[in-house]
Amino acid sequence: MQSKNRTLKIGILEIQGAFLEHKISLLAAAKELSDDVTVDVIGVRNVSHITSDMVGLIIPGGESTAISLFLRRNDMEEPLKNWVKDKDHVTWGTCAGMILLSKVTENQKKGGQYSLEALDVVVARNHFGRQVNSFEGDLNITDPELLSIQTGNEPFRGVFIRAPAISRTTNPSVKILACASTEDKPEAVIVGCRQGNVLATAFHPELTEDFRWHLYFLRMIQQR
């Protein structure tokens, strides 16, 4: 008897950032899954798109304050927060997405920073500097599961664009996945973490041809 095909409905918040590149990487990573799994990627632009049958969500980069304002003006804040808190759902935030998922943010703009309150971490906005300080560099991966994903022998690279970093964790359940440093900031900081069903990276895997992070995200969804 043939196994029943399973469809994973995954949303990408289409407000700012490289949401098209995320979709391309997701579909590339999906080819590494078993034949009975199909990935259906949808754009999330209003509250009607935040549905219980959506099992995964990517919050791309951009400007966290601008994204917060969009969510507020479109009455998406509480529905999105409730969706993220559902243990059957998996969320991944990149760069600005990491800031939005974190419970505490340093160097906030006047008026504070809206939070989805999903990660027990303290995030420093623009840790590596402004736009002109953007860079690409190798990551120090500390998670065996990530290291076990064999899609090539290349090192994990991180594209950092006015990137944040995690200055500290506030709960032992936060799992550190990756760290990075620069010549200007030689002390290694956390740039990738996971807490339960929430994943966050300070960098942009979607801007590389390496889809290992997207495959890791898909496997998190399958494990749920």
**pLDDT tens digits for 115-150?**
999 999 999 988 887 776 788 999 999 999 998 886
Active site residues: 95, 204, 206
- pLDDT tens sequence across 6-34: 899 999 999 988 999 999 999 999 999 98
Q: Where are the beta strands (DSSP E) in the chain?
A: 6-13, 37-44, 56-59, 90-94, 102-106, 119-124, 135-138, 140-141, 157-160, 165-169, 175-180, 189-195, 198-201
- What's phi and psi for 106, nearest 5 deg? -90, 160
- 1 falls in which pLDDT band (50, 70, 90)? very low
**What does the pLDDT read at residue 116?**
95
- For the chain, domains (ranges, CATH) are 6-223 (3.40.50.880)
Q: What is the mean pLDDT of the chain?
A: 91
